[in-house]
Amino acid sequence: MRLALSLIPLVLLGPVAAGAAGARETNWADVPDARAPAYAPSRAICRKLGAATLPAGDLPTPAEAAGLADCSSQALYYGIGRPADPKAARLCAVVENRSADPQVTDFGFTGDRMLMTVYANGRGAARDLDLATALACRAGGAPAEIDGRVLHLAKLKAEGWTGTDFSLCDDATSGLLQGVCADHDQLIARDGRARAFAALSVRWTAAERAAVVPLQKAAAAFVDARGQNEVDQSGTGRGAFVVAAEEKAEGAFARLLADAEAGRIAPASADDAKAADAALNAGYRALLAKAPALARDTTLTAAGLAATERAWLRYRDAWLAFARLRYPALPPDALLARLTRDRTAQLADIPAATD
C-alpha cells in the first residue's frame, strides 16, 4: 500500500549530518511541542545527550556512498528482498540522511530512525544506547512517540539491555506510524511469501510458470481493490487497516496455492459450489443494500464494492484457468467452492456487513 500523511500532529526534526549534527537538526528538547510538563523527563535526557555525532569510522567513504545511491536501509537491515546486511544498512542510512526528499529524511524506516535501530541493537555497529537515544531525540514523529521512545531507550540502558529487537514501532502512538509499521510488516511478510512461492514452484514446467503470471496479476489487482474499496479509510489508523485487509487476502491466496499444491482442497460437488455461490450473492446483495448508509458514514461506496467484486470474479476465473493446467486432477467444483467461501468470509469481515 502507499501511505498518505495523516492529520496527527507530527514533529519533523531534521536528520543528523554525517559525523556531527547538521544545520537541519533539531533536538526534541528545543521544540515547542516538547515543553508540556509531562515531557520534562525526556527533554532533560535529550538536552543532556546533546548532539548525535556518529563515530568517524562508522561513516561511508565517498566510494561507499556512491555505491549506495537509492539504497534502502530498511531492506538492507531487515533482509527484505536480499540477505540482511546491517553494516550496509548503517552506511545507507547515513546516505539517506543526505537526501533532499523529506519523504526519505522525515518518515519511516530511513535515516536517523534506522541509525537509532542499528546503535540500539548493536547490529551493524557497536551498541551505543546513548547515541541511539540522541538519534531518537531527532528522529521526529508524534510528540508522545518521541517522548516514549527516548524514555524507552534510556530504560534499556539503565537495565543493561543486550537484545537485538528494538524497533521504531515499539513506541508507536499515531495513526501515521501505525500505518508505517503495518506497511513494514507487510514488506517482510511479502518477502517471506515470495521465498515460499519460489520453493513451491521450483519444479514447475516453463508452461506452468508462464500460466501462473496472469493469476498473480489478477490476485494483486483484487488485493489492491479490497484494500482500497472495502476498508473504511476515514480514520487516522486507515493505513494499518488497509494493510491488514491486504494481508488477509494475500495470505488466503498463498494458503490456497499451497493447499492446491499439496492436494488439500476439500472435496465439493456441483451442488456445494452452487450453494456457496448463493451464499456469496446473498451476502453481497445485503452489503450493497447498506451502501447508501455506508457512503454517509465511511469511505465505502456501492461503486467501490462493485469494482472489488468484479476484480474478485477475474481472480476466480484466473484461478480456474491456471488449475486446469497445473492441477488437472483437481475437480473445478471443489476449487470453485473454496474460492467462493473464502470470498463470502471476506465480505462478512467488513464491519458493516455484520451490523
SS (H, E, C) the chain: CCCCCCCCCCECCECCCCCCCCCCECCHHHCHHHCCHHHHHHHHHHHHHCCCCCCHHHCCCHHHHHHCCCCCHHHHHHCCCCCCCHHHHHHHHHHHHCCCCHHHHCCCCCHHHHHHHHHHHCCCCCCCHHHHHHHHCCCCECHHHHHHHHHHHHHHHHCCCCCCCCCHHHHCCCHHHHHHHHHHHHHHHHHHHHHHHHHHCCCCCHHHHHHHHHHHHHHHHHHHHHHHHCCCCCCCCHHHHHHHHHHHHHHHHHHHHHHHHHCCCCCCCHHHHHHHHHHHHHHHHHHHHCHHHHHHHCCCCHHHHHHHHHHHHHHHHHHHHHHHHHCCCCCHHHHHHHHHHHHHHHHHCCHHHHC
What local confidence, expressed as pLDDT, does residue 9 receive? 38
pTM of this prediction?
Answer: 0.83
What local confidence, expressed as pLDDT, does residue 31 receive? 87
Beta bridge partners of 11: 141
Cβ atoms of residues 191 and 80 within 8 Å: yes
- Count how many Cα atoms sit within 13 Å of the Cα of residue 285 in the half-sphere of its side chain: 6
Residue percentage of the chain with pLDDT more than 70: 90
User: Which grid cell is 307?
Assistant: 469494482
Residue percentage of the chain with pLDDT more than 90: 81
Cβ atoms of residues 232 and 241 within 8 Å: yes
pLDDT digits (tens, 9 = 90+) for 205-238: 999 999 999 999 999 999 999 999 999 998 888 8
User: How confident is residue 35, by pLDDT bands cut at 50, 70 and 90?
Assistant: confident
Mean pLDDT of the chain: 91
Query: Which range has the worst mean pLDDT, 1-15, 56-70, 79-93, 220-234?
Result: 1-15
Q: How far is CA 179 from CA 12, 71, 243, 304, in A?
A: 17, 22, 8, 22
What local confidence, expressed as pLDDT, does residue 352 receive? 60
The one-letter amino acid at 131 = L
User: Which grid cell is 223?
Assistant: 488485493
User: How confident is residue 104, by pLDDT bands cut at 50, 70 and 90?
Assistant: low
What local confidence, expressed as pLDDT, does residue 99 receive? 82
What local confidence, expressed as pLDDT, does residue 235 receive? 83
Q: How far is CA 228 from CA 11, 36, 205, 214, 223, in A?
A: 28, 38, 35, 21, 9
Sequence-distant (≥ 6) Cβ neighbours of residue 108 within 8 angstroms: 74, 180, 183, 184
The answer to whether residue 122 scores a pLDDT higher than 70 is: yes
Q: How far is CA 3 from CA 37, 151, 237, in A?
A: 32, 28, 11
Cα radius of gyration rounded to whole Å, the chain: 24
Please indicate whether residue 318 or residue 14 has the higher confidence score (pLDDT): 318
The mean pLDDT of 325-352, rounded to a whole number, is: 95
Please indicate whether residue 308 or residue 25 has the higher confidence score (pLDDT): 308
The mean pLDDT of 132-144, rounded to a whole number, is: 93
What local confidence, expressed as pLDDT, does residue 236 receive? 83
Unique residue bearing C-alpha cell 474478485 = 312
The answer to whether residue 187 scores a pLDDT higher than 70 is: yes
pLDDT digits (tens, 9 = 90+) for 108-118: 899 999 999 99
The mean pLDDT of 152-160, rounded to a whole number, is: 98
CA distance 129 to 86: 17
Query: Which range has the worst mean pLDDT, 26-35, 289-298, 303-312?
Result: 26-35
Query: Which range has the worst mean pLDDT, 3-17, 37-51, 119-133, 241-255?
Result: 3-17
User: Which grid cell is 275?
Assistant: 450453494
CA distance 254 to 107: 31
